[in-house]
Amino acid sequence: MWRATARRWPWPLRSARIRWLSSDSEPEPPRRVAALWGNGDYGRLGLGALESQWSPTACPFFLDRAGDPPVSLACGGAHTLFLTQSGRVFATGLNDFGQLGIGSSVTHTLEKIVEIAAGNHHSCAVTEDGKLFIWGRNSSGQLGLGKSNVVISSLYFLNVH
């Protein structure tokens, strides 16, 4: 008889602890990394490849960024948002409706972000001073502009004090 075991994954994202040994075999302190798994098409996992992963795999981008570890992530339809300790947002995956918030290779610096969320074709971020930024597809009013305003790849913000 098949019996399910109760194994709980930390959700929302909790820190994965990895022990590294330096060249002189002194252990370094544990690091926080993002571990992802699932369908990897469009690069949505942020692992640097399009292959799917069916067990938690550390995102290599954050292995090299020990000074600014991830604190939260949000998964959309085919994209993922990563929020770092310093308030920076990184996005990976499909950008067919502007849900990554990029239209070019330019890095956008707005304000310190404290919360993120992702929908099927849109993304959101809240700043430390209460502004809500929303970008992506608005086919069903996801951006808060009403359904008649079909907007793709634009950035809007509302003050949510």
Tokens 């069903």 map to which residue?
140
pLDDT of residue 101: 85
Q: Is residue 141 part of a domain?
A: yes
pLDDT of residue 4: 38
106, burial (CB in 10 Å: exposed 0-12, middle 13-18, buried 19+): exposed
pLDDT of residue 148: 56
Tell me the C-alpha distance between 81 and 93, whole Å: 9
Q: What pairing do the DSSP bridges indicate for beta strands 70-75 and 35-38?
A: unpaired
Q: Spell out the per-residue pLDDT of the chain, length 161, in tens.
A: 333 333 334 444 444 444 444 455 666 667 788 889 999 999 999 999 999 999 999 998 888 777 899 999 999 999 999 999 999 999 999 999 889 987 655 556 678 999 999 999 999 999 999 988 888 888 888 888 777 555 554 455 555 44
Q: Is residue 155 part of a domain?
A: yes
pLDDT of residue 73: 92
pLDDT of residue 123: 92
pLDDT of residue 102: 79
Could you give the 3-state DSSP secondary structure of residue 159?
strand
**69 to each of 13, 25, 26, 108, 149, how far by Cα in Å?**
12, 23, 22, 19, 37
Q: Is residue 151 part of a domain?
A: yes
Tokens 């690091």 map to which residue?
31
Q: Is residue 5 part of a domain?
A: no
Domain hosting residue 65, numbered range: 35-159
Q: What are phi and psi of 82, to 5 degrees?
A: -120, 130
pLDDT of residue 39: 93
Q: Is residue 18 part of a domain?
A: no
DSSP H helical segments within the chain, as ranges?
A: 60-63
When divided into structural domains, the chain yields a total of 1
Q: Is residue 84 part of a domain?
A: yes
Full 3-state SS string of 141-152 = CCCCCCCCCCCC
Q: Which of 49, 54, 106, 115 is nearest to 82 (CA)?
A: 115
Q: Is residue 23 part of a domain?
A: no
pLDDT of residue 93: 94
Q: Is residue 26 part of a domain?
A: no
pTM of the shown model = 0.72
Give me the CATH number covering residue 123.
Answer: 2.130.10.30
